[in-house]
Each structure stands twice: as C-alpha cells, then as structure tokens.
Amino acid sequence: MSSIPTELAAILGSVERPGSFYAAGAAEIYMPSLEVEGVGPIALPLLPMQAEQLVAVAERAPYGRGEETLVDTTVRRTWQIGADKIQIRGKYWAQNIGEIVAWIAARLGVSEPVTAELYKLLVYDAGSFFVGHRDTEKAPGMFATLVLVLPSLYSGGELLVRHRGQEARLDLHEADSSELAFAAFYADCVHEVLPVTSGCRLTLIYNLLRTDLSPLEPPEYGEEQGRLAERLRQWGKSKGSSGDESPEKLIYPLEHAYTPAELSFTALKGADAARGAVAVAAAEQADCELHLALVSIRESGWAEHSDYPSRRGRSRGGEDAFEIGEVCDRRQFLSDWRKPDGSQPAMDNLPFEAEELCPPDAFEGLEPDEQHFQEATGNEGASFERTYARAALIFWPRARRLAVLNQAGLFLTLPYLNELAERWARNGENGESTLWQEAHELSGHMMRTWPREEVYSPWHTRGSNASTSMLASLVLLRDTARIETFLAEVSAAGFYGMADNEKLVQAAGLLPPARAAELIERIIAKNAQAMPGACADLLARCAVANLKDESALKLIPAATTLVEALPGGVENAPPPRPWLRPAVDPGFIVNLMIALNRIEAGLADRAVDCVLARPTTYGLDAILVPAALRLAEQAETRSAKAVERLFSACLEHLRARIAEPLEPPSDWKRASTLACQCRYCAELSRFLADPASKTWPFQAAAAERSHVEHSVRQNGCDLTLTTQTRGRPYTLICTKNQASHERRVSQRKKDLQDLAALERP
C-alpha cells in the first residue's frame, strides 16, 4: 500500500498551533456614526468634499526611525487624525468590532482575549503611500495592528505584508458600501501601502492588545509546508506510471465539526485553520488541486435485541435495547465542495476508498453522528441506520483531475464528455486540439473503469443508454482509437443493447473496413444468444449502410455467426437460467432476412431451414406471418428465394385454417378438457360436456369459487361468470357462451386479409 496517506497525515498533524502572520477579510455590518472634530459627521461612503475637509484638519503622518519620529513625504505621504479627535457611535459597533477582532485573533493564532484600541484615522488622498516599514509597539501588550478600510471610492492603495520571505498583497476595496474590509498583521511584519492612484482611502487604525505581556510571534510552518509540497510533487509525478498503486486523491479529516453552511477555508477553526493554510500553499507549489468537502459514510444492516438487562436491573427499552448485528450496506462519498477562493464546484457525491484517507484508519473508532434502530416488522428483523460526517481537505494532482472526476461514475462523466464533444464540434475545431485532448483523456479513464456486466445478467439492458451516449460522443469526436477500444472491450464483451446500434454502425464506419467487420462479428458472437433481435438489427443496419467500399462482403463471418446462434437450436429444451431465453419477435425475422439476403443468399436459405424446423420458437401466427407481412412491403426482399419459402409456409398455414368449417355450435356442448382434476373441476368438466345444460350454479365457499374461476380462465372455457350474493355461501353462476366460435370468426377474417396481402404480386 502507498505510504503517502500516512506521510501526509504525519506532516499536517505536526501543524498544531493555528495562525498566520496576517489575516484579512470583510464583514457585512451596520456602519457606525463617525464624527471628526473640526468637520462633524462623516458620510459613508466618503464624499469627495468631506475628504478635502478631513485633509484640511489633519496633519502629516510621521514615521519612526530609531528613537526619532520624522516627517518625510518621500517615505510616508499620508494624513492622520488622532483618536482624541474621533468619535465612533453605533448600536452594533461594539459587537461588530468584537466579532472582527475575535475572528482575526483565531487566524493569528492567539487563544487568549484580545482587545482593540483605536490609534488614529488615516486619510490617503491621491498620491499617498507608505514605504515598507515595521510598526512600533505603542502600548503594553500590543502585538499586532488592525486596519479597517471605511467605505470610500478610490483606486490603488493595496497593502503589502511581508514576513520571513512570504508576502501577501491585500486589496481591501469593497464594492458593497455595507461591507467593511479589514486586515491585521503582527507588529514585526514589514508592511507597505502602495500609492493611491485616485479618490481617497479612509482607514481606522487599531492597536491589538493582549493582557499577557510575553512576546508573541506568528507560528512558522515553512519547513512543514516545504515537506508537504515536495511529497505532493513526488506523488503527482508517480501517478499514471506503471506499477503505481497510490490513491487518486488524498483525504485528510479535520478536527472540528462544520455544517455545509459554514464550510469554507476562511471559517476553519483552531489547528484546522493552520493546516488549511499550510495545505493551500503546499498544494499550489506542488501543482495539486485542493478542496474542502464533507466526508460522509452511511451504513445500514440488521440489528439484534440486547440479551442483558440495564444496570438498574430492568429490561432496557428504546434504542438501548438494540445492538448492531451486521453492516449489510455501506456508502461513502464526498459532497459540499469548496475551493480556497470560495467557489463551490458542482462535484457532489464523489465516492472514495478507505486507502485514500490520511491515515487509512482515520475513521476507526469514530462515533456516529446519527444512529437509529427500527423494530422488527412482519417477516423482517430489526434493522439500523447510522451516519458519520467529517470535514476534510482533499488533494489530487492537477494533471489527474479527469481521473478523479471519473471516480464519480458514468452519471457525471457521460454528460461532461458529451459537453466536451459538442463544444469541440460546435467550435469547428480540427484535429487534436486542447478540448479534443481533454475529451480523449476522459474517455480513456471511463473505459478503464467501465462497468463490464456479464452478458447474461437479467439486468443487462441497464448499460444500453450509457454505451449509446458514449458512442455518440466518440463519433462526434471522430476518435477512432477510442472507438476501436470501446467496440472491442465493451460492446464485444457483452455490454451492449439494441439502442446502441445506430451509433455503433456510425462508429464502425469510421474504422478500416476489415477491422470494422471483425468487430461486428465479435459483437454478434458475444451477444447473439442473449439478444438475437439486437444482433439481427445490427447486421441489417450494417448491410444497408454498406459501411465502406465492398464492406458488405466482409460481413459474411458476422452473418454466419448469427445464423449458427439462431434461437431454438434444441427444440423445447429449457434454458439453464430463466433469463437466457431470448426474446424472438417478428422484427428479428425481418432484420435477419434483410441482412442475409444482402450479404449471402445461401445463409438466408440456411436460416429459413432452421426457422421452419423450430415451430415452438418461431410460431407461425406469433412470429412468421407478421414477419412475412412486413417483408411483403419490401420489393427487394420479397423476391428473394429464402423469403419466398417463408411466404409459402405462411400461405399453406393460412389456407389450411381457412378451409376448416366455421359453423356455430348446434347445442350447449363445449370443450371440457381441464388441467385440474379436483372434484370441483370434475363437476365443471361434466357441465361443459353436457349438450343440454346452459347454466351451472356453483354454491361454495370463497376459496372454492376462486379456484373454479381460476380454472375457467386458465383453460379458456366458453363461460361467462357472475356471482350471486343472495344466501350463504355465495353462488358462482357459470353460463355457456360462444367465445371460441367468435374467436374463430375473428381469426378467419384476419386470415383472409393476411392471405390477400401475401398473395398480392
């Protein structure tokens, strides 16, 4: 087993303390009332006229150099107003600023209480900037600086924060005036404000303070990040190589619980936040994709009653009275996907394997989030259902995105492949463009994991829509390599149905004639016994399409294979399994004759010999006469020698039945042979044979009456049944009718019509 799940878990597990050197975000708040001495109330968003008024009452902001405080507009060009000249009011302001500070503290890795002390208001008009510098600790317990950017119209003014070789570029513009953008960073970080190119940037500056006066620095996980990036890079290089057994994706469960509504990289808590930050940076370096998702496991099975009492000596009741017996069904999947940029890709319910967990035993001993037991009902015993849910970081190499997507199964990949193929065709692209290559790669992954069901499965037709869709996309792409593989490894392996034939013939038409004919023969050889109708339809389509120049001649092996596999080879022999009995209908005979007469007349004669010799399988009324009527409508096929022999057999059958007498019964005697010989049916048989009796009242219990009714229906007796509800038990009234004669009259009418149609030149 690959070691990377264990290694990844060890690396991320060593990231124990949350925090980064900076934190930034935005919050939707009720904007406060801001007043500045000498100006009065300040409108938010800031008005240009008030920006000028603020500059008029402000002073040039200085900067510190050693023990000195200097004003130098080549180093710092901005305006400041002291906290003593500012008043901030608002019903929700204290709550809003408290929530922002708490959020920032968690991301800076500070677990103790943090307070915010207003320091000054800074006004950056056009051209203002501040070169890279470090803040001095202006009050006891200060460890960081908080910047609140008030709503105003400006451009430029991005904040750069650097720490130990890392740099964050923060654009704190907020288009929505109800949102407050903010950023915080450790005091020892070098930070810089880039020039404001237009408008006015208005910021409140706070000192962030701790009661603990001991030095505090942001955690440094550069080593762990580097190790993780290198290991992910090695994993990505090994994927797809021969002998690689590593998982397609890696799943690292997080410590805290998250609902779908709060699941995001910015909402991670505690050590999860630190591990998420390390993972984001490492994944980017290693060219891997990273997501957050919910890991869900759902189990169900049978339960059993506990066989011991509770501690208090009484029998246990409710769910305590049950124990898990055996897990019969288990589903595990990933859902509710989130990317580091906050987007939510549509990849719900992607399955995963246990070996993809980091470490593989991550869920051992985990308590279920929900567990319910169901009492025994009827013939069913007690059962249970339980679910587990955890949030996790999900990694995979960016180059393996399509392989991971393929794990979701055909319900996701088939529509996506079709979309790629249609876009490629719609764009009028030629050759193997980037879009074509993506579709080609995806179809390769799909074929490697295609669900190859046993050809004789009773659920076989389940694959038909999937293979039809796949063939349609491959034909649209004209991807002959994938077409050849699909026909050879999927269709010819038994994953095939009637609905595939139209696209299958189009696909085969893109291949060299000899190879196309060979694959058609293999498909028929594998599927003829289970699906003769589909195979005859395929052969007929191929013969009519005449795939390529003289390719019909190359279909003789396929036609021979189909004739040798004609159903009913051992007349009346039951199939070894119920679902092996092939469905034969008139369409099968029609397609068979169309195909064989185009390919090889001798094979058509041979097929007719087989069909006429197997009357149980190919009944004249059910199969051959309807088929002959359809063939009679096709001038080319009607004149074929083999078809004429079918016509002769059908005409002989119809003429013989038309010659039979068709007189109504002269008395009340009716056919009286019944399958059942019980005393009730024996009495019914005597009644049917009696030429003088028209009606038979059968008074009996409901069970006996139902049995007689079943016998009447089963044997097709000429009787009308009514139930007389007077008295107990009820009476079943059996009245003789002329149903058999009426059926023969209807049959005679149809026979005459069919005879005329078949005799028509």
For the chain, give the percent of residues with pLDDT over 70: 92
Instruction: Over range 479-488, report the average pLDDT.
Output: 96
Class of domain 679-737: alpha beta
Residue 472's CB is within 10 A of a number of other CB atoms, namely 20
Domain ranges (residues) in the chain: 22-210, 222-400, 409-511, 548-664+745-761, 679-737
Lowest mean pLDDT among 3-12, 68-77, 376-385: 376-385
Count of all residues that appear for the chain in the document: 761
Lowest mean pLDDT among 58-72, 290-304, 405-419, 732-746: 58-72
Statement: residue 182 has pLDDT above 60: yes
For the segment 51-84, what is each residue's pLDDT rounded down to a tens digit? 999 999 999 999 777 667 788 899 999 999 999 9
Average pLDDT over the chain reads 88
Instruction: Over range 486-492, report the average pLDDT.
Output: 94
For the segment 41-54, what is each residue's pLDDT rounded down to a tens digit? 999 999 999 999 99
Determine the Cα–Cα distance for residues 365 and 385; give it in Å rounded to an integer. 17
Statement: residue 421 has pLDDT above 70: yes
- The pLDDT-based confidence of 552 (bands split at 50, 70, 90) is low
Residue reference for tokens 């490629």: 424
Instruction: Over range 498-524, report the average pLDDT.
Output: 94
For the chain, give the percent of residues with pLDDT over 90: 65
For the segment 430-446, what is each residue's pLDDT rounded down to a tens digit? 777 899 999 999 999 99
Residue 140 CB contacts under 8 Å (≥ 6 apart), including other chains? 209, 213
Lowest mean pLDDT among 263-272, 501-510, 536-545, 729-738: 263-272
Helix (H) / strand (E) containing 463: none
Task: Identify the CATH assignment for 22-210 out of 3.10.20.740, 3.40.50.2000, 3.40.50.2300, 2.60.120.10.
Answer: 2.60.120.10
- Side chain identity, residue 535: C
pTM for the full model?
Answer: 0.67
Instruction: Over range 420-435, report the average pLDDT.
Output: 87
Helix (H) / strand (E) containing 175: none
Residue reference for tokens 């980064």: 20
- The pLDDT-based confidence of 394 (bands split at 50, 70, 90) is very high
Determine the Cα–Cα distance for residues 294 and 369; give it in Å rounded to an integer. 13
- The answer to whether 268 touches 340, Cβ cutoff 8 Å, is no
Instruction: Over range 707-715, report the average pLDDT.
Output: 96
For the segment 447-480, what is each residue's pLDDT rounded down to a tens digit? 999 986 544 333 334 345 899 999 999 999 999 9
For the segment 210-246, what is each residue's pLDDT rounded down to a tens digit? 888 777 777 778 899 999 999 999 999 998 777 888 9
- The pLDDT-based confidence of 310 (bands split at 50, 70, 90) is very low
Determine the Cα–Cα distance for residues 640 and 598; give it in Å rounded to an integer. 10
For the segment 496-510, what is each residue's pLDDT rounded down to a tens digit? 999 999 999 999 999
Statement: residue 574 has pLDDT above 70: no
Determine the Cα–Cα distance for residues 62 and 581; give it in Å rounded to an integer. 94
Determine the Cα–Cα distance for residues 638 and 604; give it in Å rounded to an integer. 13
Centroid of chain to Cα 237 = 28
Statement: residue 739 has pLDDT above 60: yes
Residue reference for tokens 């991807």: 479
Statement: residue 634 has pLDDT above 50: yes
Residue 555 CB contacts under 8 Å (≥ 6 apart), including other chains? 517, 520, 521, 539, 542, 543, 595, 599
- The answer to whether 236 touches 245, Cβ cutoff 8 Å, is no
